[in-house]
Amino acid sequence: MFDRLRPNRKRDPLLPARHVSRRERELQQRRILVTVMIALTTIVVVLLVGGATYEFIVRPRQTLATVNGSGISRGDYWKMRKYSLVNQIQQYTYFAAQNPQYQSYIQQLQQDLQTVKTSPVDETTLDGMVDDLVTQQKLNVLGLAVTDQDVQNYLQESFAPVPINTPTPSPPVNPTAAVWATETATASAPTPTVPRATPGTPGATPGTPATPATPATPATPGTPAATPTTPASATPNREQALATATVAYGQYSKSLSDLAGMSRDDYIRLVVRPAIAKQKATDKLAGEIQPVQPQIHAEHILLATEDGAKQAREEITSGKKSFETVAKEESTDTTTAPNGGDLGWFPRGVMVKEFEDAAFNLQPGDISQPVHSKFGWHIIKVLEKDDNRPLTIQMLQNLKDGAFQKWLDDQKAASKITTTLPATPTPAPSPFEAPPGAPPTPVPTPLPTPNATPGTPPPAGTPTTAP
């Protein structure tokens, strides 16, 4: 009896094992099965919750790029990528109504729309978001800001059926530039030719033949033809236009929410405010461009190597050949070479900095030493200088169009930008472009073949263009 009362006593191995009933065994097995099922269920729940947390909370918050410490999340990228695809689908749908070939583009875009989250990051979309963020961050450099009233005005103008606010009047065109534009248009207008009667053709009357009648445009299917008794629709007043804009914006917001997952706040934050900031910066920078500026009239010779440029300059300065002759024979700039390298008149801000600094430091008649730029080696000759020359309309518009991009590039260079995109190789430099207003490249004039019968090919070896 004392042995039975001892704790942790060991069972005598010689004694027979205790009999376990069938019910006890079943209960034990059931307890083990329940324990295993609870463990498996717990693991599955943890995996599901963890996957959902990663997919809907962690992954959308991942940072794809930062601009001066401000991040661009993957979730915002998804919205902007879908927004871009939805807009493209709408545009191609319009084109497909006239040309069914665009239907294949629509199908591809719709497929891309469904796989945005699993597809690689689109570099164009993310780069655009970086540009938008830089523009908004640096807008104060220009003394500008985007206000809530600006947002309201933008939405009203975007969705109203008629303009609501008075547009800013454009500055008047410089009178001299206007005269130049008229003269250029007149000079480039084709000379009308009077058709001659073919010898032996009866009834041929000299003069311009009558223009054939234009066929009538067929009515759009399903659109009732307008009758003279149909009253013209009245132009809505401001209150009606605002009401229409509100309804249209509501419909558009619902469409964006369904197709792109973009709420109204997202649309204002990711689309509207960046668009306003860009427009304000563009208007500000374009308005600062003076219509009258110091300009030079110059020529250049572009060569691939410094040794080649030195040799070409020696030919010119020694008097062996003229600048224009060397340009025609050796310059790799095929646009200006036929004109002796003539670049026309241009102000600062058009050419690359190395070229510009050298050219504007020359006096009329001077020929520069070889100047290196990303295009190669230049030899520059200044023909004329004018400290107060009006910009041509084409040049002024060109400067205005490029002002924002130049400012944005400068702001990006001064910003700290990081991105998860793989580094892209440095693109090859684009070919040299002559400034707007440079003399056009002459078009070779075809030589007539003597005594040629219409439809008969010229003899072998006959030149077809003027030398």
What would the 3-class secondary structure string for the chain be?
CHHHHCCCCCCCCCCCCCCCCHHHHHHHHHHHHHHHHHHHHHHHHHHHHHHHHHHHHHHHHCEEEEECCEEEEHHHHHHHHHHHHHHHHHHHHHHHCCCHHHHHHHHHHHHHHHCCCCCCCCHHHHHHHHHHHHHHHHHHHHCCCCCHHHHHHHHHHHHCCCCCCCCCCCCCCCHHHHHHHHHHHHHHCCCCCCCCCCCCCCCCCCCCCCCCCCCCCCCCCCCCCCCCCCCCCCCCCHHHHHHHHHHHHHHHHHHHHHHHCCCHHHHHHHHHHHHHHHHHHHHHHHHCCCCEEEEEEEEEEEECCHHHHHHHHHHHHCCCCCHHHHHHHHCCCCCCHHHCCEEEEECCCCCCHHHHHHHHCCCCCCECCCEEECCEEEEEEEEEEEEEEECCHHHHHHHHHHHHHHHHHHHHHCCCEEECCCCCCCCCCCCCCCCCCCCCCCCCCECCCCCCCCCCCCCCCCCCECC
pLDDT tens across 365-401, in order? 999 999 999 999 999 999 999 999 999 999 999 999 9
Q: What is the pLDDT of residues 449-458, one digit of tens each?
A: 655 555 555 5
270-283 residue pLDDT tens: 999 999 999 999 99
Quick one: pLDDT at residue 449? 60
- pTM, 2 dp: 0.73
Per residue in 310-354, pLDDT (tens digit) is 999 999 999 999 999 999 999 999 999 999 999 999 999 999 999
pLDDT at 11 over 90: no
Average pLDDT rounded to a whole number, residues 94-118: 91
pLDDT digits (tens, 9 = 90+) for 168-190: 666 777 788 777 777 776 766 65
Band of residue 158 on the pLDDT scale cut at 50, 70, 90? very high
